[in-house]
């Protein structure tokens, strides 16, 4: 089926995905993967390398695209950034505002589609931060890259920390060394994916369908270059934030790697680009 509109208008993917994310939220608020209790007690949900990479964010303006219920956004606020989070799930934005109020952290949370972010937010930022399961929900990388550009101040930076498209191809069963899914996505997206389960099961079948796109690294990089950004760094990681297979071993930075004797694989990547 040809994609009628790369931006996705006139297609059902947006409503389907939003319903799935709204329904997933209550489980995620209780999930040990997110560990809201630790955050309430003062912990950061960010990875060590993210904090080290971006350095001192005090006083810098940061927008977090697809921020879910704002845990990472509020972690940047805890480090002193002036933060804005955006997500198309109104339920997630309400939960994020409640968490900000409860923890006394200042933040603005806006309910909007990523593709409408520049008009919905009406301002530009020093840092656009995004990732960890964000890009697979978007059909069009060219349009996303233009949104990122339009949100950045001159000299501002995109910090993207995302699952590697190769990680997507691996069979959930077994030990993570078997390929199951395609690297390239059909135009209509992958529709057999169902609900996300990385942070707990899904209770209702009716809202469990979703549409996703695996975006090859070349597609992401090329979209950003075409939008006028300068790529500063593309770092592939042999570690995963999730313990996706039982045989994985925990590393000193708290991430998970393949065990000795198994081939290493690119599980995640960091991409930094400047406007």
Residue of 19, 46, 60, 66 interacting with ligand SAM (CB under 6 A): 66
Q: Order the strands of the 239-240 sheet from edge to edge.
A: 239-240, 256-257, 249-250
Based on the shown chain and the rule CB under 6 A, indicate whether residue 89 belongs to the binding site for ligand SAM: yes
DSSP string covering 30-42: H-TTT-HHHHHTT
Based on the shown chain and the rule CB under 6 A, indicate whether residue 216 belongs to the binding site for ligand SAM: no
| Contact mark string toward ligand SAM, 102..141, x via CB under 6 A | -----------xx----------------xxxx--xx---
Could you tell me if 189 and 211 are in contact, meaning their C-beta atoms sit under 8 angstroms apart? yes
User: Toward ligand SAM, which CB reaches closer, 11 or 113?
Assistant: 113
Based on the shown chain and the rule CB under 6 A, indicate whether residue 159 belongs to the binding site for ligand SAM: no
Closest Cα partner for 34 from 82, 75, 94? 75
How far apart are CB 86 and ligand SAM at their closest, in Å? Answer: 7
User: Toward ligand SAM, which CB reaches closer, 152 or 199?
Assistant: 199
Give me the numbers of helices (H) and strands (E) for the chain, helices first please.
Answer: 8, 10
Based on the shown chain and the rule CB under 6 A, indicate whether residue 92 belongs to the binding site for ligand SAM: yes
Which stretch in 53-61, 67-75, 216-224, 257-265 sits in contact with ligand SAM by CB under 6 A?
67-75
How far apart are CB 270 and ligand SAM at their closest, in Å? Answer: 14
How far apart are CB 182 and ligand SAM at their closest, in Å? Answer: 21
Q: CB-based contacts of 131: which residues, under 8 Å, 6+ apart?
A: 159, 160, 161, 162
Total length of the chain: 275
Based on the shown chain and the rule CB under 6 A, indicate whether residue 88 belongs to the binding site for ligand SAM: yes
- Among all chains, which residue has been given the structure tokens 């406007």? 275
Chain-centre distance of CA 166, in angstroms?
Answer: 16
User: Toward ligand SAM, which CB reaches closer, 90 or 174?
Assistant: 90
CA pair distance 81, 97, nearest whole angstrom: 16
How far apart are CB 116 and ligand SAM at their closest, in Å? Answer: 8
Which stretch in 14-22, 184-192, 243-251, 258-266 sits in contact with ligand SAM by CB under 6 A?
14-22
Structure tokens at 123: 């301002």
Closest Cα partner for 215 from 250, 256, 185, 236? 185
Residue of 19, 21, 135, 167 interacting with ligand SAM (CB under 6 A): 21
Could you tell me if 214 and 190 are in contact, meaning their C-beta atoms sit under 8 angstroms apart? yes
Based on the shown chain and the rule CB under 6 A, indicate whether residue 87 belongs to the binding site for ligand SAM: yes
Could you tell me if 219 and 162 are in contact, meaning their C-beta atoms sit under 8 angstroms apart? no
CA pair distance 274, 28, nearest whole angstrom: 33
Based on the shown chain and the rule CB under 6 A, indicate whether residue 76 belongs to the binding site for ligand SAM: no
DSSP class of residue 226 equals H
User: Toward ligand SAM, which CB reaches closer, 14 or 153?
Assistant: 14
Which stretch in 76-84, 88-96, 140-148, 261-269 sits in contact with ligand SAM by CB under 6 A?
88-96
Binding site for ligand SAM (CB under 6 A): 14, 17, 21, 66, 68, 71-72, 87-89, 92, 113-114, 131-134, 137-138
């Amino acid at each position: 089926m040809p994609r009628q509109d790369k931006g996705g208008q006139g297609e059902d993917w947006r409503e389907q995905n939003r319903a799935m994310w709204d329904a997933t939220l209550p489980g995620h608020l209780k999930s040990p993967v997110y560990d809201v209790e630790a955050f309430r007690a003062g912990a950061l949900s960010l990875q060590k390398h993210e904090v080290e990479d971006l350095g001192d964010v005090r006083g810098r303006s940061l927008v977090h695209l697809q921020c879910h219920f704002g845990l990472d956004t509020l972690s940047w606020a805890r480090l002193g950034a002036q933060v804005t989070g955006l997500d198309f799930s109104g339920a997630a934005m309400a939960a994020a505002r409640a968490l900000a109020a409860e923890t006394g952290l200042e933040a603005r949370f806006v309910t909007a589609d990523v593709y409408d972010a520049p008009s919905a937010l009406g301002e530009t930022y020093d840092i656009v931060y995004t990732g960890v399961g964000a890009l697979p929900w978007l059909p069009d990388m060219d349009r996303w890259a233009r949104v990122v550009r339009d949100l950045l101040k001159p000299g501002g930076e995109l910090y993207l920390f995302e699952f590697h498209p190769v990680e997507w191809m691996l069979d959930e069963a077994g030990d993570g060394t078997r390929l199951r899914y395609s690297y390239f996505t059909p135009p209509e997206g992958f529709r057999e994916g169902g609900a996300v389960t990385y942070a707990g099961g899904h209770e209702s079948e009716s809202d469990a369908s979703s549409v996703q796109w695996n975006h090859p690294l070349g597609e992401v990089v090329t979209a950003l270059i075409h939008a006028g950004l300068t790529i500063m760094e593309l770092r592939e990681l042999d570690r995963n934030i999730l313990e996706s297979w039982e045989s994985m071993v925990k590393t000193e930075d708290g991430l998970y790697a393949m065990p000795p004797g198994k081939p290493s694989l690119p599980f995640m990547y960091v991409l930094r680009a400047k406007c």
